[in-house]
Amino acid sequence: MKKKKEKSFYEKLVISFNKKMKIKINKDKCLGCGMCVSLAPEIFQLDEQGKSSLKANAQIEKNRDSIKQTAENCPASAIEIEE
């Protein structure tokens, strides 16, 4: 059986640097104020219930800073991000 090659320190660093950001929206908390749509219009939209949701083609990696800013400023703390 072939032994699995251990990843070097630099390979691990690159992998952790490339980790994708995860966004969770708590729709029970969401007030539907639309601030997230104003701050990050490429990422967030309001759904038919008037609650925040992620756009299908959201470019998360390109908009990391505006997503973080949005999560920090959501009046209901309804947006959680994991990096």
Judged by the rule CB under 6 A, the positions of this chain that interact with ligand SF4 are 25, 30-36, 52, 74-76, 78-79
Largest CA distance in the chain: 58
Nearest CB to ligand SF4, comparing residues 33 and 58: 33
Nearest CB to ligand SF4, comparing residues 67 and 78: 78
Q: How far apart are CA 51 and CA 68, in angstroms?
A: 19
| Two tokens, residue 25 | 């929206």
Smallest gap from Cβ 57 to ligand SF4, in A, equals: 19
Smallest gap from Cβ 36 to ligand SF4, in A, equals: 3
